[in-house]
Amino acid sequence: MGSPYVSRTMIDKDAKLGGEENGGIFYGPHIPVRDGAMATALMLEIMAFSGEKLSQLIEKLPRYFNIKDKVPCPVNLKSKILKKLESNVKAAKIETTDGLKIWQKDGSWILVRPSGTEPLYRIFAEADTQEKVEALALRYKKLITRIIKNIRRK
């Protein structure tokens, strides 16, 4: 999505925390830009108040698995595919801030979005097991591929 887009979305939605896929952390109450020093300071503050080591704090967090993939897609078909994909999806919740983010009933999710720089769709998914995340990514990779083939046939 890119740092300026994350910052703008945080301001528009009054978000307190933002992040990028590459690990950048944005802390809105300070300033809504990527700021590794602020992220470090916040972690140190939590450690000081809790009296625990970072490894102990991390051990308490739930574990999630993620996957990143892509599907080749002609640039001229990107918007058609997104519309078709959205009409084929039935999910607990759908967001369209950056492509199509589809939330499953079990809390797992997948984000499919057209690349802004390459002729492809990017796929990002997260679930509570490796098996679930792989199945989710594969299901949507196949769906996007099928939609591309169907549009090309017409």
Q: What number does CATH give the domain 65-153?
A: 3.30.310.50
Q: According to the model, what pLDDT value does residue 144 have?
A: 93
Q: According to the model, what pLDDT value does residue 92 have?
A: 66
Locate the domains of the chain by residue range.
Answer: 3-60, 65-153
For residue 153, give both structure tokens: 């046939």
Q: pLDDT of the chain along its 154 residues, tens only?
A: 577 778 888 888 888 888 787 778 888 888 888 888 888 999 999 999 999 999 999 999 999 999 999 999 988 888 888 888 888 887 668 888 888 999 998 889 999 999 988 999 999 999 999 999 999 999 999 999 999 998 887 7
The predicted model scores a pTM of: 0.75
Residue with tokens 């959205």: 86
Instruction: Indicate the burial class of 99 (C-beta count within 10 angstroms; 0-12, 13-18, 19 or more).
Output: buried
Q: According to the model, what pLDDT value does residue 15 have?
A: 87
